[in-house]
Structure 1
Amino acid sequence: MNWIKPLTIVEYVFIGIFLLVYVVYFIRTYLIASRLGTSSRSVVIKFFIRSVYLGLCIIGLLGPSFGVNEMEAQATGKDVYFAFDVSRSMDAIDIEPTRLEKVKFELVKNLNALKSDRVGIVVFSSYAYVHTPLTYDRDALKLFIQKLSSDLFVESGTDLNEALKLIQTKFNGSNTPTRKARVIVLVSDGEDFGQLESDVILDLKKNRVNFLALGVGTPQGGKIRENVGFKKDKEGNDVVSKLDADYLKKLTKVLNGKYFQLSNQVNDVSALLKEVSQLENNWVDTRKMTVTNNKYFYFVFLALILMIIDVIITIRTIKL
């Protein structure tokens, strides 16, 4: 027999209180019976009945398990890759404190909405690499999101093609071939992307990859933080980066996706993650598990019967 939980201080306290109260009750009954010249042996019967059903209740609380059943468990979920644009334009201050810092804060706050999904992070600027492989570990993901920075790349630029090709390679090389639900979430201001290659578009559509985009920034734009000042152009003027929402909307339309936005006035991060979680899950794996059966109800039922007997049957200990 196995137990779901061991005896704890709670059970020991109840046992101790029962014994203490019953010892006091027994001594009191014995003294009264002695003075009246009657027998107190019948009290032992009550003590036995009550001890048994107290013990049965405690056994039931501990969760006795015996016998085994074989159960089939199915796991479902999605593979989700966040493609983070960490180019210099993501340091623009049209969203406080910066575009990148704001989106990091919102994602960390809402990431637990993706309960049963594996999530990974690809960062890109002039080229792309995997910042975090697909994982269920939400704490690790939050830590890696917090470490995102535009300093991850020395060269400036924005090459979305490289990021999408890399993600597709990781999808195709996944060690769970039964998993087919795939999602890409682009996080960017959409600035200076250039044209998306036709073979990349065809590959995404062929593999039925769900594509969502989060536009970060404002149409009015903002200056770009650089060291202690702001980034300047060749003429010495402050560079102003603007959200290119039109490009991102066109991109999502081509890929049959959806567009969301994040600014000081609009915050679609929770709506974006809700959309990801509501996408259809696919079967991932089926496993057979052997589990023991919790038989607590047998002991509780016997204890209940003894309680009823204890209440119904009265034992006379004193003769009048």
Structure 2
Amino acid sequence: MSEFVFQWPAALALLVLTVPLVRLLGYARKQRLAVIKAMGGGRPTHRRLRDVLRVLAFVCLVLALARPGYAPRMESTSRTGRDVVFALDVSRSMLAQDVPPSRLEVAKQGIRDALDQFSNQRAGLIVYAGSASILCPLTHDYAFVRYMLDQAHPRTVDFGGTTVQSAIEKAVDQVFIAEREGVQDLVLLTDGEDNGSRVESTLERLQESAVDCLLIGIGDPQQGSPIPIDDAAGGSGLLEQDGRTVYTQLDDEALRELAAASPRIQYLPVGTAPFNLGKLYQEYAQDLPVDANTSESGLRIYQEAAPYLLSLALLLLLLSECWGAQGLQIGQLAIGLCALCLSSPQELSAASPAIESAFKQALESLNSGDFESAHNEFSEVYEYASTHDAAPRTLAPIQFNRGLSLIQLAQANAETNPQTALDLAQNATLAFLSAKRYQSELDRAGKRLEFTAQLITQLEAQIAAQAQADADLQAQMEQLIERLQALLAQQSKLRQSLIATDPSRFNHVRRKPAPPEPSAEIVRPLSQSMVAQQNTSIADSVAIRSQMEALNQQLTPPALELTDFETVLTEPLRLFSTVQAQQAQAVKQLSAWMHWLDARNSLQIIEQKIQEILDQLTSDSDQNSSESEEYEEMEEDYDYMEDSEESMSSSEAMQGDFAAASEMQALPEPNYSAEDILLEEQGNLQFRQQKRAAANAAQVENDY
């Protein structure tokens, strides 16, 4: 099939209206000219180009109505497999090590083994203890299921204990789909020790929903095992209750009674022996029915080109209506509107009136270009919505639009402050990732993640280039300081040699006769030698002056129009002008013996000015170094991921009607190349869940 098609080709028949539209516009133009001529002439106010633009806009609208598509992809409609939801017991009793390394790790590995052997099955993941949470809805994306499986631990749920009822109800009510009745399995891995499940209600839910359950019992049913825990000091210990160590064992009898009470439950006690859950499930499901829809053709899905044509049509209409002296301004406005249409902030799903009102206000700030206010408002809305248990479909657009605000702020700071722009872009990545996790079918968040990753790469390269430029500039500054120190040493040496030639000439007492003038045979070679030395210093000064001016030019912003802008080298350049003037004067003074006293004074002034320059440059260098060290310390303390804790969905946020969403579109392939972001999110999730579990632990009698 073609790579470009019109999905509604019948709409192209509307193109025949182009001919009468052209004639109508031509007729209107003639009538307009006739009226102008009848009124005494004058310059026509209507240009032919306006009619051309209108016709082109009409053509674009018709083409958009025909739904042009490109870049097709095939989506299989095959449903030959069953739906399998793994319910993993994460109560603290699963930490017992009678099955090394622990019951929980063995159960996780069993799920991984099963996923390795899946092909057409859709898999989901629920964790439960005293309550249940959905970590992953039904999906063919086994990599994502494995990723969420790695996050499962006893702090993932609010309450300790074990209630099989909560896991079954969560799967039946929010994960399984009624249309798939009869091809749905619940694989439940636990060590038993149920704390309060209502067996009758649980069995009724399984029977009504036609869900089959494979119950896997893990642990030693004969001998109890202690539960290792981490104490508050960071060490390890054993779980105690009422001053006694708690021992746990597989409640084999209770699980057998549960399986015997319903024909839909099959119990497999693996105990402490190794097992392969993939093979166990294949044996369990080999005689069970599967969905018989085996269509091999699948669906051919095209990328929609209609939005681009609609944007072009809008631009052409605006230009046609406003063509004239303000054409350029209107064109810029139209381009801005088109860009706004293409960026298209995500609209909010059904939410509470307070959240919806605050969201609309933040969206107005975003559309008006006030990105700083938009970011703050979206952050406040998200904080309020997340604390009031808003649905994931409500939280997703908030995070998406907050990410758009951060991207705009990052682009605005890219030239002036790339480090700030990088921090903003990294926060935007977290926001888009959070939106994607809340609403998996939000493809625009994935595309924005790709764009943000490119922006981060560019900013990192820009920061690295700036750091290299700063290092080069610092090296040149250090070289300048070394040359100034060498010049200072030359001038000091010359002054000392001048004093040593005739001490009595410069230290005679007043009213005491001056010593006789030395002979020409002594003065002439000394004068020539000192003049030669001073000329060498002057040549060095010229080279130093050129280097200082070049450095000053580098330090001056090129786009700055202020003439009085001063850099760190502005004052040293003024002082160095005095140095050069005194050097030229010293050459004249050294050529005559009678002026050697004045030459000594000139050389002393030269030394003082050079020393002042060195003091200024070295003090500025030390200050810059100190500021750099302070900045590095602040950078280490600054947590640019201030919203990462919010961006990681909590166990409550993952609960919801995932079934309908997963039926509409499968989860996309995850892109978690930013490993550091995921690790940080994982840590924040664990921290929040640990705090929540600690607050609720007192409400459960047996919290293990």
What is the TM-score of this pair, normalised by structure 1?
A: 0.61
Aligned position for 1:20: none
2:245 equivalent to 1:241: no
Q: CA deviation at 1:123?
A: 1.0
- Corresponding position: 1:253 with 2:255: no
Q: Partner of 2:245: helix, strand, or coil?
A: coil
**2:83 touches 2:184 (CA, 8 Å); kept in 1?**
yes
1:94 corresponding residue in structure 2 = 98
The CA deviation at 1:164 is 1.1
Who is 1:162 aligned against? 166
Q: Deviations over 1:187-232 (max 9, x none)?
A: 1000134343423312211222111101011111211011011101
Secondary structure at the aligned position of 1:76 is classed as: coil
Match of 2:198 in 1: 196
8 Å CA contact 1:178, 1:283 repeated in 2 = no
Aligned with 1:146 (options 141, 144, 150): 150
**Structure with the largest fraction of strand:** 1
Question: Cα deviations across residues 241-299 of structure 1 (Å, max 9, x unaligned)?
Answer: 010111112212222222123343352524422235423212357475599xxxxxxxx
Letter in 2 for 1:246: E
Unaligned runs of 5+ in 2: 3-75, 231-235, 301-704
Question: 2: CA distance between counterparts of 1:158 and 1:290?
Answer: 43
Out of 213, 216, 219, the residue aligned to residue 214 of structure 1 is 216
1:223/1:239 contact within 8 Å kept: yes
CA distance in 2, matches of 1:289, 1:153: 39
Distance 1:74 1:140, change over 3 A: closer
Q: Does residue 273 in structure 1 map to residue 281 in structure 2? A: yes
Residue pair 2:113, 2:277 contacting (<8 A) in 1 also: no
Equivalent residues of 1:184, 1:210 under 8 A apart = yes
Measured in 2, the distance between the counterparts of 1:164 and 1:179 equals 15
Structure 1 SS opposite 2:292: strand
Counterpart-to-counterpart distance in 1, 2:195 and 2:278 = 25
Structure 2 counterparts to residues 169-184 of structure 1, below 5 A: 169-171=173-175, 174=177, 177-178=179-180, 180-184=182-186
State the alpha-carbon separation in 2 of the partners of residues 286 and 179 from structure 1.
Answer: 20
Distance between the aligned counterparts of 1:105 and 1:263, measured in 2? 15
C-alpha distance in structure 1 between counterparts of 2:81 and 2:114, whole Å: 18
Equivalent residue for 2:291? 282
**SS of corresponding position for 2:93:** helix
Q: After superposition, where does 1:108-119 map in structure 2 within 5 Å?
A: 108-119=112-123
Q: Say if 1:121 and 1:131, in contact at 8 Å, map to a contact too.
A: yes
User: Given the alignment of the two structures, is residue 224 of structure 1 paired with residue 233 of structure 2, yes or no?
Assistant: no
SS of the aligned residue for 1:77 comes to coil
1:75 maps to which residue?
A: 79
CA distance in structure 2 between the partners assigned to 1:223 and 1:179 by the alignment: 41
Which AA in structure 2 matches 1:225? P
Report the identity percentage: 27
SS at match of 1:142: helix
Within 1, Cα distance between the matches of 2:199 and 2:138? Answer: 25
Counterpart CA distance in 2 for 1:159 and 1:216 is 16
Q: Is the 8 A contact 2:87 2:188 kept in 1?
A: yes
Q: Are the counterparts in 2 of residues 74 and 285 from structure 1 also a CA contact under 8 Å?
A: yes
Secondary structure, counterpart of 1:161 in structure 2: helix
Which region of structure 1 is more displaced relative to structure 2, 133-142 or 177-186?
177-186
User: Secondary structure at 1:95's aligned position in 2?
Assistant: coil
* CA-atom RMSD in angstroms: 2.7
Contact 2:116 2:278 in 1 (8 A): no
Aligned pair 1:187/2:195, yes or no? Answer: no
Paired with 1:284 and 1:204, the residues of 2 have a C-alpha distance of 25
3-state SS, counterpart of residue 280 of structure 1: coil
Give the Cα separation in 2 of the matches to 1:226 and 1:74: 46
In the alignment, the residues of structure 1 paired with residue 94 and residue 179 of structure 2 have an alpha-carbon distance, to the nearest angstrom, of 35
Whether the 8 Å contact between 1:92 and 1:223 is mirrored in structure 2 is: yes
Q: Does 1:122 align with 2:126?
A: yes
Q: For the Cα contact (< 8 Å) 2:137–2:175, is it kept in 1?
A: no
Equivalent residue pairs, number: 219
What is the distance in 2 between the residues matched to 1:147 and 1:182?
25
When structure 1 is superposed on structure 2, of 203-212 and 80-89 the one drifting more is 203-212
Q: Counterparts of 1:36-75 in structure 2 under 5 Å?
A: 74-75=78-79
Higher helix share: 2
Q: Which amino acid aligns with 1:258?
A: Q
CA contact (8 A) 1:119 1:136 kept: yes
Contact 1:81–1:120 (CA under 8 A) maintained in structure 2: yes
Letter in 2 for 1:90: M
Change over 3 Å in CA distance of 1:286–1:199 after alignment to 2: farther
How many angstroms apart in 1 are the aligned matches of 2:125 and 2:143? 14
Residue 136 of structure 1: aligned partner = 140
Question: By how many angstroms is 1:84 displaced?
Answer: 1.1
Give the partner amino acid of 1:260: L
**2:109 paired with 1:105:** yes
Report the Cα distance in structure 2 between the residues aligned to 1:178 and 1:86, rounded to whole angstroms. 28
Secondary structure at the counterpart of residue 273 of structure 1: helix
Distance 1:192 1:255, change over 3 A: same
SS at 1:120 equivalent: strand
Instruction: Report if the CA contact (8 A) 2:88-2:107 is conserved.
Output: no
Q: Deviations over 1:40-69 (max 9, x none)?
A: xxxxxxxxxxxxxxxxxxxxxxxxxxxxxx
Paired letter, 2:255: L
Distance 1:197 1:253, change over 3 A: closer
Equivalent residue letter for 1:226: I
Aligned partners of 1:171, 1:125: CA distance in 2, in Å?
18
How many angstroms apart in 2 are the aligned matches of 1:147 and 1:261? Answer: 26
